[in-house]
Amino acid sequence: MGKPLIYEIMEKPATSCMIGIFSAIWFYIQKKGIGYSHVGLSYETAVEGHWWRIITSAFSHISVLHLVFNMSALWSLGVVEQLGHIGLGVKYYLHYSLVLVVLSGLLVLGMYHFLILRFKIEYFRRVTAVGYSCVVFGWMTILAVKQPSSKLDLFGFLSLPISFAPFESLIFTSIIVPQASFLGHLSGIIVGYAIGWGLIHGMNNYWAFSMLLWIVIIFVLSLKKSGAFDINFLEIEPVTDPSLPSVRFLASGNGRTLHMSTLPIAGAEMV
């Protein structure tokens, strides 16, 4: 008999929070009728400056089956949080989840770029990807390197040896779900091996916070530049209309007095 769910949630706090966040985002997407074109990542939108889609695409799921598959795999991979004794643990999990989101997104765009320019495969210009699968495949790979004796449990009844899980899952999803992003999953595996083999290392709280700060800055600026959303607070235009009231301070012997002068405005209406 397994542990009560509440104990497993306490043992996997980061994973549990992420599953809750992804589920809430999925519910919001369904309620608002948001589709692939609104949040997905493609080469075409990246060229147009929609870099914010690297983040929105990773955190969005349109299909409930896609969400269930990814969250089931993520729950099983949450064992990483309990492996602090071999150098993993909660901090490692959070730090490198951030790395996987960004680098796998950039890598898949690089693959699209190569295939479009080198082999003239225009199909990849418009392929739109969503979902956390790239990070899931990345963690499968890291765990396969760090803890090859582990098993990956899916849906509560399917158990795969973790050492083969990345490529087994890559082939399985490509056959069962033809529209799944093969290159997106492959990019997660490649970045996962780079992390597992120590080619990408040295993440700590300082670098994670710095990376997160840059992600927020680029996210907001690319939103503004792409015009996807109107972010008025980023731009303040000076008002120089002489017909508007002017306010100034007048010096007096006892301090300062606020003085306002107004001029009539022709044709003004309350809106």
Residues identified as active-site? 133, 185
Beta-carbon neighbour count of residue 19 at 10 Å?
Answer: 20
Q: How far is Cα 190 from Cα 137, in angstroms, rounded to an integer?
A: 9
Work out whether the CA dihedral 36, 38, 41, 46 comes out positive or negative: positive
Q: Are the CB atoms for 39 and 60 separated by under 8 Å?
A: yes
148: which 2 tokens?
């090859």
Element (DSSP H or E) covering residue 108: helix 90-119
Q: How many CA atoms lie within 13 A of 143 on its CB side?
A: 29
Assign 117 to helix, strand or coil.
helix
How does strand 151-154 pair with strand 158-161? antiparallel
Nearest residue to 69 via CA among 2, 169, 199: 169
Sign of CA dihedral 207, 213, 218, 223: positive
- Contact call for residues 190 and 107 (beta carbons, < 8 A): yes
